[in-house]
Amino acid sequence: MAQISLSRTDRRLLNELQRDATRNQSELAELVGMSRTSCWRRIRDFEEAGLIERQVALINPKIAGFNIQVLLLVAMTEHTDENRQSFERHVSLLPEVTECFSVSGDRDYVLHVVVKDMDSYNDFLNSQVLKHSAVRSASSTFVLRRVKYSTELPL
């Protein structure tokens, strides 16, 4: 995927979309100093280029009943392509995992996991992670409180 060169207006438009993608195009165009047609066309260009992947609603996990958030560090049994691909396919199907990172260091992956309660996490850990044939070990770090959360990139 090629990197896109962004003008100052592009950056303003993208920043406004990151803050609130529900605004209509007339409002966005006025905020960033573009015509409505140019604004619409530029957003479509960003989507076609893959810069804007999708637009979503951000849901508060606590209000939705997900009271436990965990950073789960996972170590693999062996560093083979087969193990990696198998684990990544498995994790991509787990709704409790909201993010998965392949990392350097003592562990191979860091997963962000959200569950309703400790019993749910215990079940998830034992039945979905530790039973996977590619997993050697896992270590859980429980989130006490969220200090910062943003999906906005610093354009």
Pairwise CA distance, residues 138 & 135, whole Å: 8
- Give the residue numbers spanning the domain of 91: 68-142
Q: Kindly calculate the radius of gyration of the chain based on its CA atoms and give it in whole angstroms.
A: 20
Q: List pLDDT tens digits, range 4-53.
A: 899 999 999 999 999 999 999 999 999 999 999 999 999 999 999 999 99
25 plus 77 within the same structural domain? no
33 plus 97 within the same structural domain? no
Question: What is this structure's pTM?
Answer: 0.90
12 plus 44 within the same structural domain? yes
43 plus 75 within the same structural domain? no
Query: Has residue 110 been placed in a domain?
Result: yes
Count how many domains the chain has: 2
Pairwise CA distance, residues 16 & 52, whole Å: 13
Query: Has residue 24 been placed in a domain?
Result: yes
Token pair belonging to 129: 């992670």
136 plus 74 within the same structural domain? yes
pLDDT band at 2 (very low <50, low <70, confident <90, very high): confident
At 151, give phi and psi (nearest 5°).
-105, 0
Query: Has residue 96 been placed in a domain?
Result: yes
Query: Has residue 32 been placed in a domain?
Result: yes
- 75 burial level (CB within 10 Å; 0-12, 13-18, 19+): middle
72 plus 136 within the same structural domain? yes
131 plus 80 within the same structural domain? yes
Query: Has residue 61 been placed in a domain?
Result: no
25 plus 86 within the same structural domain? no
Pairwise CA distance, residues 53 & 101, whole Å: 18
Structural contact between residues 138 and 125, judged by C-beta atoms closer than 8 angstroms: yes
